[in-house]
Homo-oligomer: A and B are copies of this chain.
Amino acid sequence: MIPKPIKKFIDAFSQLPALGPRQATRLAFYLTSIPKATLHELEISLRELKDLGRCERCFFLKEANLKVCRICGDPKRDREIVAIIEKETDLLSLEKLGAYTGHYFILGKLAEKGVLETAQKLRLEYLKSRIKSEGGIIKELIIALNPSAIGDFTAIMIKREFRELAGKITRLSRGLPTGGEIEFADESTLESSFEHRE
């Protein structure tokens, strides 16, 4: 009874986070009511996501025609300061402050269980060997993981493993509410937490 394209759309889009079956259904019908040109733009913008690659230095996203991401490729940024973050949206939150001029390193979202995934271990190994091959020591390693139990646990591990590879190793200070997430912190909390990193 529902036209097949609608059904197909709902099935596909209700798999996405932030869109349950109900929202996907409403979205499907909404999209049939907008101009075809607007719908086409959405389609194009979805298609172009496929052209993105990963920055080989920090694992942030980059345009296919660039070798590294815009941050790693920016000569004005200090590559001797590296912030280890969990995910891309944390990078956006920190960038919005406008106060940070170092590089990032995306570790990937930490699992609940407290153990790093193999891919995450490999990323840290890669960071270690990169620091070693690029002078042996950086000025500062900022551990900007979520202020959660597993964040703490991972931070301790990183501090131990990078002890000799960074002049100082800091964490965002505990102005952040324990159990919260960086992505949802209000700007002023995040700012003071960044400022008092320790």
Q: How many copies does the complex hold?
A: 2
B28 touches A18 (CB 8 A): no
Chain A contact-residue range equals 35 or more
Q: Report Cα–Cα, A45/B42, bound state, in Å.
A: 12
The secondary-structure label for the interface of chain A is helix
B18 touches A27 (CB 8 A): yes
On whether A61 and B49 interact (CB within 8 A), knowing A3-B70, A70-B3, the answer reads no
- Chain A residues 61-111 with CB under 8 Å of chain B are 61-63, 69-71, 87-89, 92, 95
- Chain A residues 21-67 with CB under 8 Å of chain B are 23, 25-32, 36, 39-43, 45-52, 61-63
B25 touches A92 (CB 8 A): yes
